[in-house]
Amino acid sequence: MSCSATSPLPGNATATARREDQVLDVARSDPLGVNTVSELSLAVRGELADVFDGTERVVAVVIQRPYLRRV
């Protein structure tokens, strides 16, 4: 189910909030102690390569599955 709401802001601007139902699977989470991943690697290329120096650690992997609900 999706729903959205629009609120007026000063200066003729508007803000839109949207909520959608989602199905998320936590494949790995260090804080939660979940690890269903057998192997994981992270390679950064392009514009973000300047931001990462190789000492980063993956804290969580979350899979967002397509979800369609018919009423």
Judge whether 5 and 19 are in contact, CB under 8 Å: no
| pLDDT, average across residues 40-51 | 88
Residue corresponding to tokens 């999706």: 2
Say how far apart CA 1 and CA 21 lie, in whole Å: 6
Say how far apart CA 60 and CA 44 lie, in whole Å: 16
Per-chain mean pLDDT for the chain:
75
User: pTM of the entire structure?
Assistant: 0.51
pLDDT for position 4: 44
pLDDT for position 35: 93
Q: How far is CA 25 from its chain centroid?
A: 11
Binning pLDDT at 50, 70 and 90, where does residue 28 land? very high
Distance between start and end Cα atoms, the chain: 9
